[in-house]
Amino acid sequence: MFTNPVKKKLLEGRVSVGTWSVLASPLIGEFLAREGFDYVIVDLEHHPIGLEMAVHYFQAITAGGSVPIARLAYNDHVCIKRALDAGALGVIIPLIKSAAEALKAVEFTRFPPLGQRPYGGGRVGIYGVDYLKRANDEILVMLQIEHRQAVEDLDAILAVEGYDGCFIGPTDLAVSMGLRTPMEGGCAELEDLIADLAQRIRGAGKLLGTVSASAEAWRERVAQGFTFMPLCSDLSFMRQGLNAARRELEEAGLWQSG
């Protein structure tokens, strides 16, 4: 039977640990998967990764033993359909601002009777002959809450059925609200807003996700009830390793900047 172990874990109330891949390399995606992450998110929104490369990513991540998830560029039926048909077992859909947009996301990601996703066969056949029957239950659908309008319409968004959870995007949320972003050090008002959103999302019975730039931040979000928090990314892991090596060489007098 076709199952999604990440969604199963989340629905059981357990934390699922994953990461992002942004460096446009399916090989890196495979290495990340083999490190034991539950899932690897391929970022098709902000990074130069097209559908053809995404297919190879999904193959590599699956071969490495993780679940492939795609963050899409837009809440669009073509983007969603093609990513799912290429083998993604979950999607994160950005910039959901209203209940109408949430309904559209459900329509595009779910087969009838929940939605209007068409079935085209193809690569999804690797997940078994029961894919069509099981996909509505097994595909993870997370909607990004990252705009002032989404905050204002959150109750209506949460009343929409057919998607699994909300993924809070703190940086874009802060920009939209005119607050200091996490990259600028954040602010208490932003943290209060995230805490309020988290409480309302969990109270509506939806899964709760966000980004996490460090293990310390990850633990703090777990305490708030977040269970879907990709930790860092391949790029940030590379930078962390590079910076650590450079500091060691500088301390030994073997690295001189400039």
Q: Kindly report, residue by residue over 53-103, the tens digit of the pLDDT.
A: 999 999 999 999 999 999 999 999 999 999 999 999 999 999 999 999 999
Higher pLDDT, 216 or 149: 149
- CA dihedral for 83, 111, 208, 65, sign (positive or negative): negative
Q: Count of alpha carbons within 13 Å of 50, Cβ hemisphere only?
A: 1
Q: Exposed/middle/buried for 80, CB within 10 Å: 0-12, 13-18, 19+? A: buried
2 pLDDT band (50/70/90 cuts)?
Answer: confident
41 pLDDT band (50/70/90 cuts)?
Answer: very high
Domains of the chain plus CATH, in order, are 5-251 (3.20.20.60)
46 counts as catalytic = yes
> If you search the block for the tokens 């297919």, which residue do you land on?
55
Q: Say how far apart CA 23 and CA 29 lie, in whole Å.
A: 9
Q: In the numeric block, which tokens belong to residue 217?
A: 């931040």
Question: Which residues pair with residue 167 across a beta bridge?
Answer: 144, 209
Q: Kindly report, residue by residue over 230-253, the tens digit of the pLDDT.
A: 999 999 999 999 999 999 999 999
Say yes or no to pLDDT of 47 above 70.
yes
Q: Exposed/middle/buried for 254, CB within 10 Å: 0-12, 13-18, 19+? A: exposed
Return phi, psi of residue 16, to 5°.
-115, 130
19-27: average pLDDT: 98
The average confidence (pLDDT) of the chain is 95
Q: Spell out the residues 6+ positions from residue 256 whose beta carbon is closer than 8 angstroms to its own.
A: 250
Catalytic residue among 46, 56, 77, 147: 46
Say yes or no to pLDDT of 106 above 70.
yes
Say yes or no to pLDDT of 43 above 90.
yes
Read off the DSSP letter of residue 205: T
pTM of the model: 0.96
Q: Say how far apart CA 258 and CA 254 lie, in whole Å.
A: 13
Provide the percentage of residues in the chain whose pLDDT is more than 70: 99
Neighbours of 14 (CB within 10 A): 10
Burial 150-162 (b: 16+ CB within 10 A, else e): bbebbeebbebee
